[in-house]
Amino acid sequence: MNKSSVSISVTFVLLFLLACSVPVSGFNITRLLNRFPEFSVFNGYLTKTRLFEQINIRQTITILALDNGVVPSITGNSLDVIKQILSAHVILDYYDSAKFRKLSNKPTVLTTMFQATGDAVREQGFVKVVLNRRGQIEFGSAWRGAPFTSMFVRAVASQPYNVSVIQISSPIVVPGIGRYNLPPPAPVAPEPDVAPVPAPTPLADTPSPADESPADAPSPDADSPVPTADAPDAPSSAPHPSADDEEDADAPSPDDEEDHSAASRGHIAGAGVMVAGLMSLYMAF
Ligand SMILES: *[C@@H]1O[C@H](CO)[C@@H](O)[C@H](O)[C@H]1NC(C)=O
Ligand SMILES: *[C@@H]1O[C@H](CO)[C@@H](O)[C@H](O)[C@H]1NC(C)=O
């Protein structure tokens, strides 16, 4: 190898290393969702609306995803409106299921990407989320008085603490934005803190508004079985507040002892210096 070919290969290696270190975005939401065919329609809309670009440049984000059976409930809208609705399903913070389960039973308000567009009025750009008394996580628009329209179904994927994808049962209805072709709420056992449920009618019999094929209606229902009384999933993740308290309670005592002994060592040392001083004074005479 002569000198020039060495320098060419060194240059090549340097260029290669440079190319590797160019900070592209942290993740690729399109590729992430491609692994889950049940979200292909949702993923397709993230591409068509170009929302994926705004998602990929974020560093901490949570996507409330709708599966293929549920997306048709918003696709009667123009692409611009679909973009607005979907951007209200992108939370500008990282929330995985563990973090959602630590929420209180008071609604927590989270900022969405719709707020960041500047198109949102009042609370359209915010969602509220709550851990209800059954241990279920519910979502709704933070618009004053808006109902909780969506339930947590499952954690789909996450890259802590940057991107999290959570499946929800149906779209979050943003008041004043678009039309929603939703099945009637599934009959739920009486629950004091949930909006009154209309008379429970079997889903298949209800006449659904015009433009949706009836074939779409049963699938969301089948995907999200009505919670039964004997299947609470809350207790497993119950917080353990006592651990922290104990640590806090234990902590001061060793410190105090340390302080005392350090202080007494100081006294002894001080006394030693004084004795030595007196000795030398004495010797001088
Ligand atoms: C993840 O988020 C952290 C802090 O928010 C950020 O510093 C980091 O660059 C992000 N990582 C990726 C791969 O985006
Ligand atoms: C993200 O992934 C998709 C699908 O794999 C691909 O077509 C696209 O080029 C990727 N984008 C970037 C910026 O890597």
pLDDT tens digits in sequence order for the chain, 285 residues long: 455 555 545 445 444 444 444 444 478 999 999 999 999 999 999 999 999 999 999 999 999 999 999 999 999 999 999 999 999 999 999 999 999 999 988 999 999 999 999 999 999 999 999 999 999 999 999 999 999 999 999 999 999 999 999 999 999 999 999 999 987 766 665 555 555 545 544 444 334 444 434 444 344 443 444 444 443 333 333 334 333 333 333 333 334 433 444 444 444 444 444 444 444 434 444
Per-residue model confidence (pLDDT) at position 104: 85
- Cβ(26) – ligand 1 distance below 6 Å: yes
Ligand 2 atom closest to residue 52's alpha carbon, by position in its atom list: 1
Mutate-to-test residue for ligand 2 from 24, 31, 53, highest number of ligand atoms within 8 A of CB: 31
Cα of 37 vs centre of ligand 2, distance in Å, is 16
Per-residue model confidence (pLDDT) at position 183: 74
Note whether residue 212 is domain-resident: no
- Cβ(31) – ligand 2 distance below 6 Å: yes
Number of domains in the chain: 1
Cα of 27 vs centre of ligand 1, distance in Å, is 10
Domain extent for 133: 24-168
Residue nearest to atom 9 of ligand 1 (CA): 59
Ligand 2 atom closest to residue 24's alpha carbon, by position in its atom list: 13
- Cβ(28) – ligand 1 distance below 6 Å: no
- Cβ(60) – ligand 1 distance below 6 Å: yes
Per-residue model confidence (pLDDT) at position 188: 62
Note whether residue 278 is domain-resident: no
DSSP-assigned beta bridge partners for residue 151: 138
Note whether residue 28 is domain-resident: yes
Per-residue model confidence (pLDDT) at position 105: 85
- Cβ(28) – ligand 2 distance below 6 Å: yes
- Backbone angles phi and psi of 112, in degrees to 5: -110, 170
Note whether residue 93 is domain-resident: yes
Note whether residue 226 is domain-resident: no
- Cβ(30) – ligand 2 distance below 6 Å: yes
Note whether residue 209 is domain-resident: no
Nearest ligand by distance to the CA of 53: 2
Cα of 274 vs centre of ligand 2, distance in Å, is 77
Cα of 101 vs centre of ligand 1, distance in Å, is 23
Nearest ligand by distance to the CA of 162: 1
Cα of 94 vs centre of ligand 2, distance in Å, is 22
Per-residue model confidence (pLDDT) at position 116: 94
Q: Which of 99, 72, 67, 69 is nearest to 167 (CA)?
A: 67
Nearest ligand by distance to the CA of 163: 1
- Cβ(159) – ligand 1 distance below 6 Å: no
Note whether residue 270 is domain-resident: no
How many Å from the N-terminal Cα to the C-terminal Cα in the chain?
Answer: 86
Residue nearest to atom 2 of ligand 2 (CA): 31
What is the Cα–Cα distance from 10 to 62, expressed in whole angstroms? 42
CATH for 64: 2.30.180.10
Q: Given CA atoms 47, 51, 55, 57 in this order, what sign does their dihedral have?
A: positive
Peptide bond into 161 cis (omega under 30): yes
Q: Which of 200, 141, 155, 175 is nearest to 65 (CA)?
A: 155
Note whether residue 177 is domain-resident: no
Single pTM value for the model: 0.61
